[in-house]
A = this chain, B = another copy of it.
Amino acid sequence: MFDYKLLSALAAVVEQAGFERAAQVLGLSQSAISQRIKLLEARVGQPVLVRATPPAPTEIGRRLLNHVQQVRLLERDLQSLVPALDEEGLPERLRIALNADSLATWWAAALGDFCARQHVLLDLVVEDQTVGLKRMRAGEVAACVCASERPVAGARSVLLGAMRYRALASPAFIARYFPDGVRADQLAHTPALVFGPDDFLQHRYLASLGVEGGFEHHLCPSSEGFIRLAEAGLGWGLVPELQVREQLAQGTLVNLLADKPIDVPLYWHHWRNGGQLLGALTEQLIRSSRQWLVPWAPS
Contact = CB atoms under 8 A, between A and B. Distances in A.
Measured as residues with beta carbon below 8 angstroms from the partner, the interface class of chain A is: 35 or more
B100 A225 contact: yes
B122 A234 contact: yes
A78 interface: no
Given A21-B197, A115-B191, A109 B232 contact: yes
Contacts of A109: 228, 231-232
Contact of A112 (B21, B124, B232): B232
A224 B109 CA distance: 13
A246 to B, nearest CB: 9
A239 to B, nearest CB: 12
Given A108-B229, A222-B124, A229-B108, A197 B234 contact: no
Contacts of A234: 108, 111, 115-116, 122
A262 to B, nearest CB: 21
B111 A218 contact: no
Contacts of A16: 197
B221 A222 contact: no
A228 B103 CA distance: 8
Interface string A256-272: 00000000000000000
A195 B176 CA distance: 37
A233 B103 contact: no
A103 B231 CA distance: 12
A217 interface: yes
A231 B21 CA distance: 29
Contact of A233 (B107, B113, B123, B126): B113
A209 interface: no
Interface string A1-33: 000000000000000110001000000000000
25 contacts: A21-B197, A52-B52, A91-B216, A100-B222, A100-B225, A103-B220, A107-B225, A107-B228, A108-B234, A109-B231, A113-B172, A113-B233, A115-B234, A116-B191, A116-B233, A116-B234, A121-B191, A122-B218, A122-B220, A125-B221, A126-B222, A222-B223, A222-B224, A223-B224, A224-B224
